[in-house]
A and B are shown apart, each in its own frame.
Chain A
Amino acid sequence: DGGITQSPKYLFRKEGQNVTLSCEQNLNHDAMYWYRQDPGQGLRLIYYSQIVNDFQKGDIAEGYSVSREKKESFPLTVTSAQKNPTAFYLCASSNEHYPSYNEQFFGPGTRLTVL
C-alpha cells in the first residue's frame, strides 16, 4: 500500500489542545479530502482541496482547519473548538484523469482520542 499515507496511526490529546494530523500522497493527485468516520454515521466530509493553495469547507468543518501549501500534503488541525474530536480520521486523494477518474484513494486513517 503506498500512495497515500497518514500519521500517526493513533493519537491521544488532552482537552484544550490543538493537534495536527498528517496526510501525504505521491500519486500526483490534484484533489485531497479529509473525512471523519464515527460508528453508525458513515464518513462525513470535513474539508477538501481541489488544487494547491485552495480549499473548501465540507459538511462538518467547524473546529477544524487545513492548509494546502504543497500538492503532496494536506494536514488537518483539530482545534480545541471541536466539541467532540474523538474519532477516526481518513484522508483521500483523487484526480480527473483516466482510468481512475474521480476515484478516491484512501489512507489508512488516524484514530484520535481526546482524554
Chain B
Amino acid sequence: AQRVTQPEKLLSVFKGAPVELKCNYSYSGSPELFWYVQYSRQRLQLLLRHISRESIKGFTADLNKGETSFHLKKPFAQEEDSAMYYCAPMGGGGNKLTFGTGTQLKVEL
C-alpha cells in the first residue's frame, strides 16, 4: 500500500533558524514528489515539485531514494513561512496524489 509519513504534527522554530520538515514515503515504482502548502485563509497550493529541482521561497527538497525520504528544508525561517505543509507523492493510475497528514510550521519571533 502507498503510504506517506510526516512524523511531526507541529514544528515550532524561531525566526532565522533552519527548518526541516520530514517526509518518508512507501510507494511502488518511482513516484513524482510534491510539497503543497496551505497558508492561513488561503487555498492549498503547490510549493515545489522534485522534478523541477527549483527553490521556491527559499525552500528546497532533497529526494533520498535509499531512505525513501523527501524532506523539505529552508536555511532561515521567516514569519511568513508559518503554514501547514503536506508532502504528496503522485503515482498509480490517474495521477493520484497521496497526502501525508501534514506538519504545521510555526515561526516565532
Contacts and interface: CB of A to CB of B under 8 A. Distances in A.
A42 B32 contact: no
Contacts of B99: 35, 42-44
B59 to A, nearest CB: 16
User: How extensive is the interface on chain B, given as a class?
Assistant: 20 to 34
B49 A42 contact: no
Contacts of B44: 43, 90, 92, 106
Interface centre among A58, A92, A103 (most CB of B within 10 A): A103
A contact face: mostly helix, strand, loop, or mixed: strand
A42 B102 contact: yes
A48 B96 contact: yes
B46 interface: yes
Nearest to A44: B99
A107 B43 CA distance: 7
B93 to A, nearest CB: 8
Interface of A: 1, 31, 33, 35, 40-45, 48, 50, 56, 58, 90, 92, 94, 96, 102-109
